[in-house]
Every structure is written in C-alpha cells, then in structure tokens.
Structure 1
Amino acid sequence: MKLKRIGLTFLASVAIVSSLASATVSAQDTVKIGANYELSGGAASYGQAMANGLELAVEQVNANGGVIDGQQLEIVLFDSQSELTESASVATRLVGEGVVGIVGPATTGQANAQTPIIEEAGIPVILPAATGDGITLDDSGSVLEYLFRVCFEDSYQGAAAAAYATENLGAKTAAVLTDQALDYSQGLTDSFVAQFEENGGTIVTQESYTSGDTDFSAVLTSLLVQEYDVLYVPGYYTEGGLIIQQARQMGITQPILAGDGFASPTLIELAGAENVNDVYFTNHFSSESEEPVVVEFMAAYEEKFGSEPDAFAALGYDAAKLLIDAVERAGSTDPEAVKDAIAATTEFAGVTGTFAIDENHNPVKPATMITLQNGEIVNAELVSAE
C-alpha cells in the first residue's frame, strides 16, 4: 500500500492490521477494504475517528476468523487531506488497488468529489457521516447504484432539532447563525427554519459567518440585543467551540442547538467546559446507551485506543461492519454482489442503532439529541423529525 500521506501514528496502526492478515494468509488471499478519510486538514477530527472505527472493526473480524472461508481483511487507506481534488484522487487510487468496497470520506463535499469515480468503476461505497441532502441521488433524482450511507440526512436532523426546540424546550422564537461557506450548514438551516415555523415558532433573525472565522464578536453583539428562546448554530466544531465560548462570555445565555458537526471533543477544548452549558446537538450515537452492542463497542474501543469513542468513531465502525457484513451475506468479494447485499439490508444491528437501508440508500433510524452541561454529556434521548 502507498501510505506516504498518512501520519506516522496511523501508519503504524495500519501496519499492525495488515500484519494480522499477512500472518495468516498470503497477500493475494486478503479481502481489501478501501478507506478514503480526512486524516489531515480541517476535517481530520472526523476522519481520524472513523479510521479508528474501521481499524477496530477489521481487527475484530480478523481475530474471529475473517470472512468467506477464513480470508483475512486488509485495510487500504489513503488521506484525502480534507481536499476535494485529493478525495477524487484517492478514490481513483483505491479502485486501482482492487478493493471490494470503500468506506468514507467523512464530509459531504469530499463524498461528492469521489462519487463519479466510484459509480463509473462499480465499487460500492458506504459513507459514515456525509449528511448532505440527496447525495445518494443523481441530478435526475435517480438513486446512485453504488453509493450508500449509515447516517441520516441534514434535513432530517435539522427538522429533528426544531421539533425538540419547540416540543421539549418550549421555544416559540429562535435565532439562527449559519456558516455561509458550508452547504452542510445551509442545509440544516433550511430544514430547521421550515420545521420550526411549521410547529408555530418564529425565526427572529438569521445571521451568518464564514468557515475559518475566529472572532464572532460583531455577529454575537447583534444577537445580544435580540429576544429569542433558542439559538441554532449548524456548523462544525472548529467554529462552534469558539462561538459558544464568545457567546457565553458576552452574556448570551439562551440554549444553543446544533447538528452533528458539534460532535467532537475539540468543541469542548475550544469553548472551555465552563462555557458549554445548555448546549444541545443532534447526533448519531450516545456513549450513554446501555444497549449491549454499544457497551461492547465502548469497552473494545477504549481498550485499544485509550479514549472514549465519539459519534464519528461509531459511524466509522458501523460503515465498516456493514460493508463486511455485506461481503459475508453475499458470500463473494465481487463488488456487484456486495453492492446488492448492502441494498438488501433490512435489520443491521449497529452501534448507532438498528437500521434498514431504504430505496434511496439511506438508513431508517431516529436521531439522538445530546445535552451538554459544563462540557459533559448529561442526557441523550431519541428524537424524531415527525
């Protein structure tokens, strides 16, 4: 494998996984799982966690005898560097490696850059966390044959957040702060606003910022003089942490709601735990779950990596396990057969929930609303956009 762009720590990890395979069978007998992840750049926190989830899944399956007559799994992973052109380049390289399927990338933009290549090559892809609306469909609205995901769409989680705000928090008015440079942020904004208004609420103001901003004093000052019940900030943790910090220090006390882009430990580091109060975000996974599959995953992950898994590690794990499960159900490493098996999934017991794959290649499952107080998770409950 050509891994020159991967950081040394993860290179060592991949080497360990590969050695598990080579110690048992020769290289030509391994089943190659491709991975296109953002191990560096702006989305590295997501990609690295997903790569950990992949590594754990492969290690467990190999230790339990592998797949299809004992074949071992081999990870072929490249770093997209959080760049669109590099994501497309990585997809091309993975196709050339003869992988049975691909997991990743993490973000919607990266996934869109990869899609034409994998569709032409006929290689199934499972996206762990690319939540953009309609990315499993082509321009005519027809489903893309080889593209699947294990996360819900932006419109679903935006609407779920609005339903939670009105029904659980009793909000009647809301302010919205959108990252104008992110399709992800704009998609969540649109669905939140539509559902909030449908539920009888009023959007008092909609403000914006741009990815990479670090000083939000101007826009927060304008919010400080408005009256509203909740503030919705659909963005990534990189700016979200700073927004929370500056908002709380300026005296903005209203509950802050967000999407799964807040699901990173770095959010707390940037905001300061003392500022992360009454913060809610829709997510795909809760470490507070008592489901046996989650408890076992948590224990295995912490033993291997020395830290608690976040939602992106869980999604990466589920994406890998679904691909592996499809190989086993297909009884074949033919990408066409694997693709058909993924599409036929009816009850996959993942750590992010038990789900089926619908006709548009999306999972059918609820969202989880996470509540943070003093930087700690104090509550997690299922929430629907209905």
Structure 2
Amino acid sequence: MKKKFLMGLASVFVLAACGNGATTEESDTIKLGGNFELSGGASAYGTLMDEGIKMAVAEQNAADGLLGKEIEYVSYDNKSEPSESTSVATRLATEDNVVAILGPATTGAANAQSPAVTRAKVPAILPAATGDGVTMDGDSVLEYVFRVCFQDSFQGKALAEFAQTDLQATKAVILVDNSTDYAIGLADAFKETFTGDIVAEENFTAGDTDFKAILTNIANLDYDVIFLPGYYEEGGLIIKQAREMGIVQPILGPDGFANSTLVELAGADNVDNVFYASHFTPNSEDPKVQDFLADFEAEYGKPADSFAALAYDAAQLVFDAIANADSTDPQAITDALAATEDFEGVTGTFSFDENHNPIKSAFVIELQDGVEVGNSIVEPAK
C-alpha cells in the first residue's frame, strides 16, 4: 500500500443517480455497488464501511484497476431501514447494473436485501452482518450471499469460553437487548457454552437511556462477569451507569462495541475491565494491517475501526474474485467467491465454508481506561 494510491477520492467515484447500462466484458469500467447505513441508527458502522471500500477502490485504480479496466463504485444510503436496503439493492442490481454489491452493515438490512440479489443473480458480500443464517434460506445456502465476518453463534461461544478460561468466571449475569435478534442470538450462544451459573438475566430495549433499575437488580448479587450483548449506544451508557453505581465486575460485549462512541458515552475512566469480541485489532504487528491503518488515517483524518477493516477486506475479496474469474460476469464472480481459499485480508486469513461463512479467528479486546491494552485470539472449531 502506498500513500500515492489515495489520490482525490472524489474524482474516483461516480455516484450516479441511475445506471448507464450493464457492465459487460466490453465496458471500460467495472461497476461495484454499495448498500450502506449512511444515516440512521447504524450510520456509525455504515459510514466507516463505505469509506473503507472507497479507499480500496482508489488503491486498486491507482494500481491499474482490474482486467485493464477502472473500477467505478456507486453507493447509496439505506437509512438503516430494512425496506430501504431492499430498494437500494434492487436499484443497484437492475438500474446501475453492478457486478457485485458490498454491504449492508447489519443483519436485518442484509436479510432484506437477499431476495433482491437472488432474483438479479448478483453477488452480495456482507462485511459485518453477523446474524446466524444470513447466508441461508432455511437449510439451503443462498448462492449469491457471502460474508467476511464471523457469526454471532461463534462470537457468543468465544466470549463464554473467554469468561471461563481467561477470567475464571463461574457465575455470570446477562444484560440483553431483547429488541434485536442480534443480541438475543448472542445471549443464547453464550448460555449454551457457559458451564457456570447464570445468576440473573435482565432485559432492555434499543433506545433506552436509563438503566438504573436493571443495574440495581444485579448490584448486590454474587457473580464474576457481566455479559452485555447489544450495540455501542446502550452499551456505553450501561457501562457508565454501572461503574458509577460501584459495579466493578468485568463486562463482556460483542463486536457491536467496536466503535469509539462506546468510550465517549461511557467516559474513558469508566471503561475498565471491559472486553469485547472483534474481527480486527489495530495492535497487530502485521505490516499489511499497519499500512491500512496509516493510509486510512491519512485519507480521512480519523482512525479505522474493525468495520472499516471488514469492508476494506470485502472489497479486496471482490477484486480477488474478479481477477480469479478473469471476468466481470456476475455468475463467474459468484463462482470464484465460493471457491475462495486462504484469502489474506487485514482482518485475517480465511477460506469460505460450504455456507459462504469465513473460517476465521476472533479477537477478544481488553479495554482499560478506554484504551486497548491487550487482546486474545479465539480460534474456530476444527
């Protein structure tokens, strides 16, 4: 990666309002689509993902593109709404005639998109939709849906194993966002794996801001760890209120904690003994990771997080599939994606399993005073 690759992103992307005909083998460009949460509740994830892809496209174009052609990236805002995700996917596939779609960020939006990409026979690569079954239709794999992130069941189990082995926890409390399938699935996976006692389980709802009642219910119980499946908005506030009430037990969270807003909401002084599952660590010594981080900060003036890294890998995965297929035909790209083995990204090296899920490791990040001070690696089951 060279800094000279990151030249004037605005000049690289044509964010067209409508398509200009199908991308064919004779076209001068290869058109990719982005379906992301650029506004609404999940915009903190979607915006960074969109930026990660733009950077990947700029680098690839500066290195002479693909198959002798320039890559054109067209992205639209799904507004963090599943119905908008469907509309964006349909627009990209049928009007803009993209050869592949990157995104969306969340499981609900990804599920809403799947029928559209299946009808259009255009592959979709999901950077961070972790919900179990998002690549499946019942017992059948969705031919055109892939992801580069691990599943919720894997991270829920990984956090339970971490609680038992690294934190030596034998008693746990679960505080779960019962308004999202994401959090409920994580809680179920944790409970299936944790061999100790679940001494209490309290529920909250996305959008809540006052958690004193549920925290009061657990304040005087005997337990070793709190598992908090949910997103950074509520997670940050719960951490703040828990620590201010004198609750000092370690708090475990999922990849939904992986945003700097978590620390801003909680206050850095309160973010001690907080651990969360992540697809990526900026403390990696891998030169590829460090180059990515330096280039992203140079281009956007802010640090990349795991969501930017996942999206960057999703774009690189598409480039790799197009090169391996030696074609811009969506079906050829789909077949090449399914055959991916040992893809080396900034979030790790992986191959796809038969259900289009990556076989990859997870990191458990440790935060003290709001700063990452260590990480552990949890390997997938053999």
> Which TM-score applies when normalising by structure 2?
0.93
Q: Which residue of 2 aligns with 1:74?
A: 72
Q: Provide the residue aligned with 2:286 in structure 1.
A: 291
Q: Quote the residue 2:254 is aligned against.
A: 259
In the other structure, the counterpart of 1:138 is: 137
Quote the Cα distance in structure 2 between the aligned partners of 1:33 and 1:382: 33
5 Å matches for 1:198-347? 201-347=196-342
Equivalent residues of 1:163, 1:385 under 8 A apart: no
Q: Is contact 1:229-1:255 (8 Å) kept? A: yes
Aligned residue among 328, 347, 351 for 1:352: 347
Amino acid at match of 2:118: E
Given that residues 45 and 307 in structure 2 are in contact (C-alpha distance below 8 angstroms), is that contact kept between their aligned partners in structure 1?
yes
User: Gapped runs of 5+ residues in structure 1?
Assistant: 1-12, 21-26
Distance 2:9 2:42 in 1: 20
Which residue in 2 is equivalent to 1:3? none
* Counterpart pick for 1:191 among 189, 192, 214: 189
**3-state SS of paired residue (2:117):** helix
Alpha-carbon offset, residue 18 of structure 1: 2.1
**Partner-residue secondary structure (3-state), 1:41:** coil
Query: Runs (4+) of structure 1 moved beyond 3 Å?
Result: none
Query: Hey, what's the Cα distance between the residues in 1 that align with 2:57 and 2:179?
Result: 36
In structure 1, the partner of 2:61 is: 62
Q: Which residue of 2 aligns with 1:9?
A: none
Cα deviation digits, residues 110-169 of structure 1 (max 9, x gap): 000000010111000100000000111102x11100000000000000000000000011
| Counterpart contact for 2:275–2:364, Cα < 8 Å | yes
List runs of 5+ in structure 2 lacking aligned partners: 1-7, 16-25
C-alpha distance in 2 between matches for 1:89 and 1:226: 48
Aligned counterparts of 1:343 and 1:179: Cα–Cα separation in 2: 34
Deviations 1:265-311 (A, max 9, x none): 01011110010000000010000000121111111111111121100
- Structure 2: which amino acid aligns with 1:369? V
Which of 359, 362, 370 aligns to 1:367? It is 362
* 1:19 to 1:99, Cα distance in 2 relative to 1, 3 A: closer
How far did residue 19 of structure 1 move? 6.7
Which one of 90, 93, 100 corresponds to residue 91 of structure 2? Answer: 93
> How far apart, in 1, do the equivalents of 2:174 and 2:226 lie?
6
Q: 1:48-68: per-residue Cα shift (whole Å, max 9, x none)?
A: 110111011000000000000
Task: Report the residue type matching 1:80 in the other structure.
Answer: N
The one-letter amino acid of 1:207's match is E
CA contact (8 A) 1:230 1:256 kept: yes
Q: What does the per-residue CA deviation read over 1:337-370, in whole Å, with 9 as the maximum and x for residues that have no partner?
A: 0000000000100000000011110000110010
Q: Which residue of 2 aligns with 1:152?
A: 150
Q: Deviation of residue 14 (structure 1)?
A: 6.2
Shift of 1:223: 1.1
> Aligned partners of 2:250, 2:87: CA distance in 1, in Å?
42
Q: 1:118 to 1:240 in 2, by over 3 A?
A: same
How far has the Cα of 1:385 moved from its partner?
5.9
CA distance in 1, matches of 2:340, 2:130: 19
- 1:14–1:75 Cα contact (<8 Å) kept: no
Distance 2:260 2:234 in 1: 13
Deviations 1:306-327 (A, max 9, x none): 1211000000100111011111
Shift of 1:225: 1.9
Aligned residues: 363
Describe the superposition over 1:243-274 as per-residue Cα deviations: whole angstroms up to 9, x where unpaired: 10001001110000010000000101111001
The whole-number CA distance in structure 2 between the counterparts of 1:298 and 1:325 is 21
2:9–2:55 contact (8 Å) kept in structure 1:
no
Q: Is the 8 A contact 2:14 2:73 kept in 1?
A: no
CA distance in 2, matches of 1:103, 1:299: 23
Residue 383 (structure 1) shift: 1.4
Question: What is the SS of the residue equivalent to 1:75?
Answer: strand
Distance of 1:18 and 1:240 partners within structure 2? 35
* Counterparts of 2:77 and 2:70, CA distance in 1: 23
Task: Provide the C-alpha distance between the structure 2 equivalents of 1:150 and 1:162, rounded to a whole number of angstroms.
Answer: 22
Identical amino acids, percent of aligned pairs: 54
Asked if 1:177 is matched to 2:175, the reply is: yes
Aligned in 2, Cα 1:19/1:183: closer, same or farther, shift over 3 Å? closer
**Which residue of structure 1 lines up, in the alignment, with residue 3 of structure 2?**
none
For 1:372, what is the secondary structure of its paired residue?
strand
Separation in structure 2 between the aligned mates of residue 235 and residue 384 of structure 1, nearest angstrom = 23
Deviation of the 1:99 alpha carbon = 0.4
Q: 2: distance between equivalents of 1:244 and 1:124?
A: 39
1-side partners of 2:330 and 2:373: how far apart?
A: 43
Report the Cα distance in structure 1 between the residues aligned to 2:181 and 2:265, rounded to whole angstroms.
Answer: 23
In structure 1, what is the equivalent of residue 40 of structure 2?
41
Separation of aligned partners in 2, 1:66 and 1:85:
33
Residues 202, 384 of structure 1: alpha-carbon distance in 2 compared, 3 angstrom cutoff: farther
Distance 2:102 2:235 in 1: 27
Contact in 1 for aligned 2:99/2:123 (Cα 8 Å):
yes
Alpha-carbon RMSD = 1.4
